[in-house]
Structures are given as C-alpha cells and as structure tokens.
Amino acid sequence: MHKLWAVRRKVPHENHPWLVYCRAPRSAVFLGGSQLKLKQLLLAFILLVIVSGVWVLQGYLSMESARRDVLMMDTFVSVMADGREAERVLDETVVEMRRLEALLSAHIEGSDVYRINNALGAQVSVSAETIEVLEVAEEVFRRTNGAFDVTIGAVLRLWGFGTEARQVPTAEELLSAMNGVGFTNVEFSREEKWVRLKHPATRLDLGGVAKGYIVDRATEFIYSRGIRHAVVDAGGDVRITGGRPNSPRWLGARKARVGVQDPVNRERLVAVVSVMDGAVLTSGDYERYFVEDGIRYTHIIDPRTGSPVRGLSSVTIVTSKAAVADAIATAVMVLGKEAGLALIEDWEGVEALLITAEQEFIMSSGMAALTEVLR
Ligand code: ADP
Ligand code: MG
C-alpha cells in the first residue's frame, strides 16, 4: 500500500526516491536491474576485449630482437636477445658486463685483482663477484690437481702475455716467478669479503675463468629482466638461453648452433654444437700466441713448468655454466688429451671435443650426440 501510494502520487518517497517513477515497484526493480546488468556486462566485455587487445598488441610491439656488438675483455662480445624491451635490457647488460670486467681484470688499474696484486700481502676488501670467481677457481684447481691455477699471474707477465712485449724468459726469471705459483698462496673470506696473497711472488690472473663468469652473469641479468631467449658470446665463450635467437617462436624454440673453428684455418668450421640451454666454450692455442724460432708459445701456462702448453690445439666444453666451462677448458689444455679426457668423463654434466695439434678429434662419451662434425 505504501509503495502504490508513492507511485500514484509521483512524488519521491523520502526513503526510496526512485519508487516514484515505477508503476509496479517490485517487478520493475527486477526487470530494470536485469536490463541494466546485461548492458553493463556487454560494456564490460567490450572494454575487456579492447583492453586485452591493446595489451596483446603492446606486448607484441615491445617484443624486440636486439643485438649488441662491443669490444671488451680484449675480445669481440656479442649479446643477442628476443623479448620485451630487449633493446633496453641489452644496453643495461653491456653496462653490467663492463662493471664486472673493471672488477676482475688484472690489467685495469683499481680493479679488485689489481689491488690484490699490489697489496704486498695485506688483506684487500673485494666485491662478492671476485669471491665467487675465486671459489670457481679453487674448485677447478682442486679437481685438476693444480692444472688450473689463477696464481700464474707473474709467470704470464714474464712471457709478456697481457703486455706488448712477448718474449721467452730466462730459466732464472721463470724459477723466481714460479715461487709464487700455487692456489694455496691465496687466502680469502667469503663472509668478510677479503683476499690476501700469502707469498710475495704470487700474482693473480683470472683470465682463464673471468670471461666465462661475466658471460654467466650477463645471461642471468638478461633472464632476470624477463627475457627467455638470449645468446651471450664473448669471443667464443658462448652461453645460450632458450635456443636460437631471432627465430619465429610459433615453430617452437630451436637449438642454437655454435660453430667450432678449425684451429689451422680459422675461416672454416670443423664442427657445430647444438644446445638449447647452456655454455659452449672453446679454449685454443690459435687466438693468443707468439712465435719465436719457429715455436708457437700460447697464452695458456702449465703451472707445473711455467711454460706455455703444447699438445692440444683446442678444447671445446659443453656444460651448464660458462665460468666452470672456461676454467675446465683451460685446464684440459694443460692436462693434454689423456688426463684431460679422464677429467671430463669424471665430471658430471660436462662434455668436450678435443682437437690435438695433429688435428685428431677426440670426444667425450656424451659429446657426439650434441655435435655435427663437418669434415
Ligand atoms: P681465452 O681468454 O683466449 O678465451 P682461455 O679461456 O683459454 O683463453 O684462458 C686463457 C687465459 O687463462 C690466459 O690468458 C691466462 O689469463 C689464464 N691462464 C693461462 N694459463 C692458466 C692456467 N694454467 N690456469 C689458470 N689460468 C690460466
Ligand atoms: Mg679458460
């Protein structure tokens, strides 16, 4: 009664002002509500379509295939990535790689390694990154019985590697530089982040592991920015994430193919290694060396003798992380084919292709499945 009255009078009811326009208030409320809901739903749906359309389009437009080629770590570095805002992410990646190089290079004044080498045996505060690299170096030192040893810095300098003047040192010079070789001369604290060299003749050179470490860190940096397809290549130290870059994704990801150079004729490839995720990394005697009296002296030193290694032309390692791959590759160059191959077979998750000075190919048990030999 109350409501009908309100309708007839066509004046707002003080508690329900809207009742005044309704003939049959209850059903009208019901009907009107349903019409309203339908309209709202339709509107919401259209809005949703537009918003998601814009979102998908924006996502599609911000999918970029980016690439940077820069000179750092004394080599050509290429970084490629497919993903959202890849251009911006790669600019940041290059900055991050340069920051790491400035910590780890023995030749950059003020780097962690430079300060350690010039501290006359005092404790030197260093970055967490330097400690991480030393931990990898220590592990590979132990597992290779010292074939990989980052304390060969003074010996490397004597041979002139890392300087302009490469030369064969005298036996006496070598003997005195060898006094400081041995990873046991390095003391460091992970918790307090310091490093100390215990012997006055010891000098660090992280050149056999730092490049791989920086490749790993660059890869992790790119991944942390949401990009799932990337390749970081530091002069043949390659790490791949999510297969081949710049490939149409609707076909599904495809393995990236990494070429192995012919140590004799570097224009040619002798093998191709295919991986979806992981590191493919080559150490060789043909990139950095000098020749004197017909003898080739390469930049990899046997820590037992202090002299450049001989016997293997190149070692290609396939494993998940580039840092450990880098150190293992250098170690296998030192160990030679038998001991080198034994190390690889013993090290889980690591495969290798060794090319001897006589151009003989030797593969670890799991390597053939990843490798296409081209000759
Ligand atoms: P590249 O820098 O050409 O990729 P490698 O990965 O084979 O070469 O590493 C060679 C570098 O490793 C040398 O330039 C030197 O800095 C360092 N190095 C040489 N011999 C040893 C060794 N026995 N143990 C650890 N590091 C070494
Ligand atoms: Mg190496």
Residue 111 tokens read as 């780097």
Above pLDDT 90, what percent of the chain?
76
Mutational test site, ligand 1, from 299, 307, 343, max ligand atoms within 8 Å of CB: 299
Per residue in 180-212, pLDDT (tens digit) is: 999 999 999 999 999 999 999 999 999 999 999
Atom from ligand 1 closest to the CA of residue 284: 7
Instruction: Return the best residue to mutate from 111, 203, 286, 330 for the ligand 1 pocket (most ligand atoms within 8 A of CB).
Output: 330
pLDDT in tens, 269-317: 999 999 999 999 999 988 888 988 888 899 999 999 999 999 999 999 9
- Residues in Cβ contact with 129 at an 8 Å cutoff, skipping those fewer than 6 apart: 100, 103, 104, 112, 213, 217
Distance 73 CA to ligand 2 centre (A): 13
- Asked if 186 and 195 count as a contact pair (C-beta separation under 8 A), the reply is yes
Q: What pLDDT is recorded for position 134?
A: 98
pLDDT digits (tens, 9 = 90+) for 216-243: 999 999 999 999 999 999 999 999 999 9
Nearest to 255 by CA among 225, 275, 281, 283: 275
Instruction: With beta carbons less than 8 A apart as the criterion, state whether 88 and 81 touch.
Output: no
Rounded distance from Cα 329 to ligand 1 centre (Å): 9
Give the strands of the sheet with 237-241, arranged side by side.
63-72, 75-84, 229-234, 237-241, 278-284, 312-319, 351-356, 361-363
**Residue 64 pLDDT class (50, 70, 90 cuts):** confident
Query: What are the tokens at 345?
Result: 């077979």
- Could you please state the CATH topology (level 3) that the domain comprising 255-375 is classified under: T-fold (3.10.520)
User: Do residues 332 and 343 lie in contact, with contact meaning Cβ atoms separated by under 8 Å?
Assistant: yes
In this prediction, residue 36 has a pLDDT band, given cuts at 50, 70 and 90, of low
Task: Output the pLDDT for position 253.
Answer: 84
Per-residue pLDDT, averaged over 239-251, amounts to 81
Residue 183's pLDDT is 98
Checking if the pLDDT of 56 tops 70, the result is yes
Distance 128 CA to ligand 2 centre (A): 21
pTM for the full model?
A: 0.85
The fold for domain 106-197 equals T-fold (1.10.3980)
Report strand pairing: 186-189 vs 194-197. antiparallel
* Ligand 1 centroid to residue 146 C-alpha, Å: 13
Q: Could you tell me the residue ranges of all domains in the chain?
A: 2-59, 106-197, 255-375
Q: For residue 247, how far is its CA from the centre of ligand 2 (angstroms)?
A: 30
Is residue 137 a contact partner of residue 143, using CB atoms and an 8 Å limit?
no
Using the atom order of ligand 1, give the atom closest to the CA of residue 209. Answer: 6
Q: Is the pLDDT of residue 133 over 90?
A: yes
Contact 140, 331 (CB under 8 A): yes
Atom from ligand 1 closest to the CA of residue 73:
2
d(CA 292, CA 183): 30
Confidence grade of residue 66 (pLDDT, cut at 50, 70, 90):
very high
| Cα dihedral 55→61→63→69 (10° resolution) | -150
Going by C-alpha positions, the residue among 95, 104, 70, 65 that lies closest to residue 81 is 65
* Ligand 1 site-directed mutation target among 300, 301, 315, 324, most atoms within 8 Å of CB: 300
Average pLDDT over all residues of the chain:
89
Ligand 1 pocket list (CB less than 6 A): 148-150, 152, 156, 161, 205, 207-208, 211, 283, 287-288, 299-301, 303, 326, 329-330, 334
